[in-house]
Chains A and B, each alone.
Chain A
Amino acid sequence: MDARLRRVNKEIADCKNDKSSNIKIELVDASPFHLKGSFPGPQDTPYEGGHFEVDIVIPDSYPFQPVKMKFITKVYHPNISSASGAICLDILKDAWSPVLTLKSTLISLQSLLCSPEPNDPQDAEVAKHYTTSKRSFDETARYWTQIYAGGPAVKKMEVKEPQKDEIAIAGLEKAHVDQFEGLGFERSKVIDVLRRLNYRGANVANIAEDRIVEELLK
């Protein structure tokens, strides 16, 4: 039997038999080389309670070249692209070793959620948010977990105002958005500009309102 197929089959079987790790791998279509992995968000993190799905593509030269993985579930994390789900993790690139398995790689992703590395970011805007205000970042990440990964409702946001969502997704304060919306700018544009300029936490004091208006007028 083809060594790659044998190995992948064994890895899938191993994962099925292992009930303790909570990591699941399932087929997407008939091919054993396109899979979907999933794992629960780690405890004591903003991702707790969420269920995260990962798209797995096994290259021809697996296991000698790394698997290709990206998040299907949207994740708010400095090392994961908030748009595409692309992951920045050394073992998926040059630190890959053929000894690593799908399961061990998924466990590594799980632990990446526990320990973000904002100095080597995949998503620069999210990383900026993380370094400016950890508290505000956690809140946004928790909110994303809630709405995208089926996490428990965030207490503070239980009273949902209809327009609250997109502001929270962008990790911004409602008061700030309202302030500029009051000047007559479109809400979506305000959110976009404030997110891009990282108008959050301590950084608010550093950005002159004129600057924002200037950006809004562009």
Chain B
Amino acid sequence: MSSDYEYSDEEDFYDDDEDMASAGDDDSAPSDDDMDMDSFADDFKVPQHPPRKSYEIEHEPLSQQAVERLMTTDVDHISGIFGVNESTAALLLRYMNWNKERLIEKYMDNASSVSVAAGVSTPSRASPSVSGPAPIRSSGTRRRTIRQTPVPKAEPSVCPICFDDSQTSFLALSCDHSFCISCWAAYITSKIREEGEHAVRCMAEGCALVAPDPFVVSTLANSGEDEDGRTRERFQELLVRHFVSANPHLKYCPYPSCTYTVSCPSASSRSSLTTMVPTVSCGASHKFCFGCHIDSDHRPVVCPIAKMWLKKCRDDSETANWIKSNTKECSKCQSTIEKNGGCNHMTCKKCKHEFCWVCMGPWSEHGTAWYSCNRYDEKGGVDARDAQSKSRASLERYLHYYNRWANHEQSAKLSVELYNKTEKKMEEMQITSSLTWIEVQFMKRAVEEAERCRATLKWTYAMAFYLDRGNEKELFEDNQRDLEKAVEDLSELLESPIDPETISTLRQKVTDKTVYVAKRNEILLKDTSDGFAEERWKWNIAVEGFD
């Protein structure tokens, strides 16, 4: 069984799990280790990064801090080229959705119009103080930096928003619309917390100036409005989110309240999705697909095919089942017909073809036998039934794949139950035998592996449905069959009763089988993914993105 692959040291094999968990927690140093969560190759304690397998995709989990560093790099770059300060560069970049090339092009073309549109400067501002286009902005931004600090006014005046006449601390952006600091802070808080808006505009009506980051941060800090720092935090998060959503190489981990981002440049284009399945995992080892939202891991099938399959299942399965059991096709035009009563003399509504419901032969040969058909073996009837069986075959073919697909999906849903059962079994083992807790972990490991393989198997049926007939498909189905057989064997072992006498052989068997199953899964994934890369797979239907 598993003799080809020697994984003799079991302790190592189990320790591995814990190592993984601790690697996942460490958000400051995400490394390639995280990628191989689901494979067995890294059971070997290799000091270097385990080599990436061909069916895995190169990606890098990034913590929020790491994404912020990427942002800063872009901002510094632009600020260096344009000779503006960082906060201005950040506003310009956000306005252009972080498209540096377009920003540089547009800015070189007409700097002032871009600045106005980005809310960096006011339209009228350009003329009064300075002349000449380029230096204005730098002086303009410098002026703003000075103004960001609250200017205490000698005597209290009335803020036009809260009508408080005792306010002494007033702030304004470079547009000179001045409001008291508590109004600013309340406004910024409401924009960030309630609207989730990172671009906070000046409060004056119709003023399009956007508050630069230092203004937002210092106002929140100086006003005492944001004592727990949560608004500031949220602001930072909104900025990061905007950056991530603008960048096709980056995706947020879709798991609730996970703050990781994954960078996967090779899966950023739509066309790349036809040659690989970008299953990635974030720094907290949440697995998800970089290319679609269908399933967290739909390997070995690529996104467009998985999507097509799901759509077909949603549209067709129930209908197909019903059609199969309740209808026949007209032997001439193949429209589907339900017989809802009456005699066997059918007239197709569509093509007006008259035939017998029982033998499917043309009615003209029937004479007057209205309620019975004794002409089952006549040539006309046999031909008609042949044609019918062909159209039935395509339906049956679909149902064949669908039922297996659904079966594996169903067993994945039952996995919680299986876990509980296994846990009970593990306890039982500890009681009835001399095995320790750590030694019965092989059961859990086996269940996990079986579940993982079922997920793969499930999607292989979607793939096989669309694969064109030929040697390639046969090889694929061989791999599929081997994996399925191995998984079923393993499942059976897991179900078998525990007998203190045979427990050690059972343990040996299960462990061997687990390793074997994992290897079969890997072989299938690798071969399929190689096939995609080599464009070896041929489809029996036009698939989006393929020729």
Contact = CB atoms under 8 A, between A and B. Distances in A.
B164 A6 contact: yes
Interface string A75-101: 000000000000000010000011110
Interface stretch (A39-47, A61-69, A147-155, A184-192): A61-69
Interface stretch (B13-21, B130-138, B183-191, B452-460): B183-191
B164 A64 contact: no
Interface string B150-162: 0000000000111
Nearest to B182: A3
A63 B194 contact: no
Contacts, number: 42
Rank and list the top 4 A-B pairs by shortest CB-CB distance, nearest first: A64-B190, A97-B205, A3-B162, A10-B163
B258 interface: no
B187 A98 contact: yes
A152 to B, nearest CB: 35
A164 interface: no
A65 B204 contact: no
Interface string B186-218: 110111001000000001111100000000000
A1 to B, nearest CB: 9
A7 interface: yes
A100 B206 CA distance: 10
Given A3-B186, A61-B194, A64-B191, A99 B163 contact: no
24 contacts: A3-B182, A3-B183, A3-B186, A6-B162, A7-B162, A10-B163, A61-B186, A63-B161, A64-B183, A64-B189, A64-B190, A65-B190, A65-B194, A91-B205, A97-B203, A97-B205, A97-B206, A97-B207, A98-B161, A98-B183, A98-B203, A99-B160, A99-B204, A99-B205
A97 B204 contact: yes
Interface residues of B, number: 19
A3 B203 contact: no
Interface of A: 3, 6-7, 10, 61, 63-65, 91, 97-100
A7 B163 CA distance: 6
A99 B190 contact: no
Contacts of B189: 64
A98 B191 CA distance: 12
Nearest to A14: B163
A61 B164 contact: no
Contacts of B186: 3, 61, 64
A37 B292 CA distance: 51
Contacts of A99: 160-161, 203-205
Contacts of B164: 3, 6
A98 to B, nearest CB: 5
Nearest to A97: B205
Nearest to A104: B205
B454 to A, nearest CB: 49
A61 B189 CA distance: 10
A64 B205 contact: no
A97 B161 CA distance: 10
A195 B190 CA distance: 43
B431 to A, nearest CB: 60
B111 to A, nearest CB: 27
A114 to B, nearest CB: 19
A107 to B, nearest CB: 12
A18 to B, nearest CB: 15
Nearest to B160: A99
A99 B182 CA distance: 14
Contacts of B187: 64, 98
A92 to B, nearest CB: 13
A90 to B, nearest CB: 11
- Among A6, A61, A91, A98, chain B packs the most CB atoms within 10 A around the CB of A98
A7 B180 CA distance: 14
